[in-house]
Amino acid sequence: MAFGITRDELNRWKQAVSQGELAFLTHYWLDPRFPGIKTVTKVGCANYSLLTDWCLTNGLDPAYIHNRAPFPHFDLLGEKQIQILQKEGLWDHLERFRMLENGRD
């Protein structure tokens, strides 16, 4: 279940993804399969080749891309999520969702 974002933020992410841009959407998320994980960042792009290349560049296995039309995306979790948000300069995501406190989300 996603929470902590507005409808407008979700719609802006969907629009960017649909236009073939790499778009990042972070939100609170709870899933019993991932104890201790409180956030996820969805990296989406309708240009599947671009999303695949982005995964490979960042040491991520593109086999884990959720290829769900019209919003293919890769879910970032845990330490890798923090590392990539830092690399991408998305400090607002890190701060807003308190991912830097104690080095964990």
pLDDT digits 0-9 by tens, 56-90: 999 999 999 999 999 999 999 999 999 999 999 99
Structure token pair of residue 12: 């802006």
Distance CA 97, CA 105 (A): 7
User: Which domain range does residue 42 map to?
Assistant: 2-98
Q: What is the pLDDT of residue 2?
A: 67
Q: What is the pLDDT of residue 101?
A: 72
Helix (H) or strand (E) run with residue 86 in it: helix 78-87
For residue 3, name the pLDDT band (cuts at 50, 70, 90).
confident
Q: Confirm whether 103 is domain-assigned.
A: no
* Average pLDDT of every residue of the chain: 93
The domain tally of the chain equals 1
pLDDT in tens, 23-34: 999 999 999 999
Q: Confirm whether 85 is domain-assigned.
A: yes
